[in-house]
Structures are given as C-alpha cells and as structure tokens.
Amino acid sequence: MNATPANRIQRLRTLAWLLDSAIVLPGGFRIGLDPLIGLIPGLGDAIGVAFSAYIVIEAANLGAPLSVVLRMIGNVLLDGLVGSIPIAGDLFDFAFKANLRNIALLEHYHFDPSGAHRSSRAFFIAAAAISILVVLAIIALLVFVIIEIAKLF
C-alpha cells in the first residue's frame, strides 16, 4: 500500500519528534533519543546521523527540491560535526534539534512550494564557517592533548 505524501511526512515528523523532543525534563525542556544515543562513545553520533540521513533521503524521495535537501543536509552535518565534540557537542545536540528543523523545512516546501526555493547561500556560509571552526577546535584540542602527554615523558 502506497502511503500519501502527507502520511509519509507525518511518519517522518513522528520520527523527528522521537529523536529530538520525546522526553520531557523538569522545567518543560524537551530532549529526544538522538542526544542520548549521542552519549555512546564512538558510535552514538554516527547512529544519530544515520537516523537524520533517513529523514533527508525520504524528503528527497517525496520530491523536495535540491535547495531544501541541501539545507537539510547542512543541518545534519552541523549536528553531526558539533555533536561529535565531547561534552560541548552533547549540549549542542540537546538544543539544536536538527530533525525537527528538517521536518519544518519539508513541511514548508510541501504546504508552500513557492517559498521553498529561496536562496540558502547564507545558511551554507554559516554552516561552513561553523564546521571549519569545529574542525579547528578539534585539531587544537588534539594538539593540546599530545603536548600534555609528551610532557609526561
């Protein structure tokens, strides 16, 4: 049985909610399974990116234009890169909610296709700048750790 695009989007919305907002914390703050899975050393962030990639692939299969899919990929990359930084990345993962952002992009396209083709240049410039900063921060941290280890010997 072929599901309608609206049904498929609703299933994706449910998955995004589960990954980003399913658990209510004291004070009304919501988190999902994605940042909890991300706490697993080594594999957690990769598993989260895989779930997020599924949402992006489904959006492409639903006919989302390249501009929307690229913005969704940027959200996943940003979430995956920053999320991979120990502690700070985990905190970022709790707040960023890339999957819900991506569902909002998909729904905006689905319900208002004329507005979905606006330029996403600023988004990609910001995402690229943040990604570069993250990589530089990781390199700096690794250099610092290597220097501190070398001091022990």
Say if CB 20 and CB 38 are below 8 A apart.
Answer: no
The domain ranges of the chain are: 5-152
pLDDT tops 90 at residue 114 = no
pLDDT tops 50 at residue 102 = yes
Residue 104: pLDDT band with limits 50, 70, 90:
very high
The rounded mean pLDDT for the chain is 84
Can you give the pTM of this predicted structure?
0.72
Say if CB 37 and CB 47 are below 8 A apart.
Answer: yes
What is the average pLDDT across 100-122?
Answer: 74
Collect all residues with Cβ–Cβ distance below 8 Å to 79 and sequence separation of at least 6: 48, 49, 52, 92, 93, 96, 98
What one-character DSSP code corresponds to residue 25?
P
So what's the pLDDT on residue 116?
46
Q: Of residues 103 and 149, which shows the higher confidence score?
A: 103
pLDDT tops 60 at residue 35 = yes
pLDDT tens, residue by residue, 41-93 = 778 888 888 999 999 999 999 988 888 888 999 999 888 888 888 778 878 88
Nearest partner of 52 among 29, 78, 87, judged by Cα: 78
What is the average pLDDT across 122-135?
Answer: 69
Q: How many C-beta neighbours within 10 Å does residue 31 have?
A: 18
Residue where the block lists tokens 């930084």: 85
